[in-house]
Amino acid sequence: MNPFPIVLTASAAACAGIGAWGAVAASSELFGPTVRHTSSARKIALTFDDGPNPAVTPRLLELFDRHSVRATFFLIGKFARVCPDLVREISARGHLLGNHTNTHANLFFKLSGGIHDELARCQDAVATATGAAPPRWVRPPYGYRNPLLDGEVRRAGMQGVVMWSRMATDWTLQPPEKLIRRLACVARPGGSQGDILVLHDGDHRALGGDRGHVVAALEHWLPRWRDAGIEFVTIESSAVSGPLGAQRP
């Protein structure tokens, strides 16, 4: 029996498995460095994907004003063009704007030109809305990356790719109590780094998505996290890359 086909098949399967892990896993840096922690266990970065959403984002902004919270919003370019006033308001209230591509594309399947177009069109939409510099940070939709993404991010003049340490699984409609229970794991004592938490203020499929459960869960947790001594930071103010926690410039 010839063992080489078996060895080659096993090797191909192993390579495919490593590639899949590198493309999807939040902890992977196979395709370039990422940010997934804050610099201190007492600091949380609340991050929001798929907005701006006129049905939910203004409610979050009011809630954050009440609790002196600063957050990071990764915006979809096509929605930013429809809601430029809301984009300006997010920025004016002291929150950080990030790039979540123009159409919420799965970048794993994109070549360099496609990645460039998705990033550039979102950059333009946000910069046009605010009249300021475009975002410095990108979060790839679904967290999917490929080996070409890091180079395109750098060529676009952005600082880097932001992943996460906690995923709230809040993108489906659900009772607020369910999300409240799930967020109980955030900001627990221990470790030298803090959580970057992924939440959603929008629905990438259409404007106006119902994310009321997210607002309700944060209404519950924000004062409790504050009472526990937690500081809320943006990615820009407290970004730490990778599993070793090397501070990014």
pLDDT digits (tens, 9 = 90+) for 63-99: 999 999 999 999 999 999 999 999 999 999 999 999 9
Helical H segments across the chain, by residue range = 4-24, 57-66, 77-82, 84-92, 112-130, 149-155, 176-182, 212-227
238 within 8 A of 230, measured Cβ to Cβ: no
- Candidate list 49, 195, 201, 203, residue with the active-site label: 49
Residue showing tokens 């096509």: 78
Q: Catalytic annotation on 200?
A: yes
User: What is the pLDDT averaged over residues 89-112?
Assistant: 98
pLDDT of 181 above 80: yes
Burial pattern 185-198, b for ≥16 Cβ within 10 A else e, equals ebbeeeeebbbbbb
- At 133-167, the pLDDT tens digits run 999 999 999 999 999 999 999 999 999 999 999 99
Q: Which amino acid is at 221?
A: W
In this prediction, residue 35 carries a pLDDT of 95
- Candidate list 37, 100, 104, 200, residue with the active-site label: 200
3-class secondary-structure state, position 221: helix
Cα–Cα separations (whole angstroms), residue 117 to 73, 81, 92, 144, 149:
20, 15, 27, 16, 12
- At 185-213, the pLDDT tens digits run 997 766 778 999 999 999 999 999 999 99
Q: Catalytic annotation on 49?
A: yes
Question: Which tokens is 236 given?
Answer: 């820009």
Mean pLDDT of the chain: 89
pLDDT of 43 above 80: yes
Identify the helix (H) or strand (E) that includes residue 232. Answer: strand 231-232
What are the beta bridge partners of residue 231?
Answer: 43
User: What is the pLDDT averaged over residues 107-128?
Assistant: 98
User: What is the pLDDT averaged over residues 41-70?
Assistant: 97
pLDDT of 174 above 70: yes
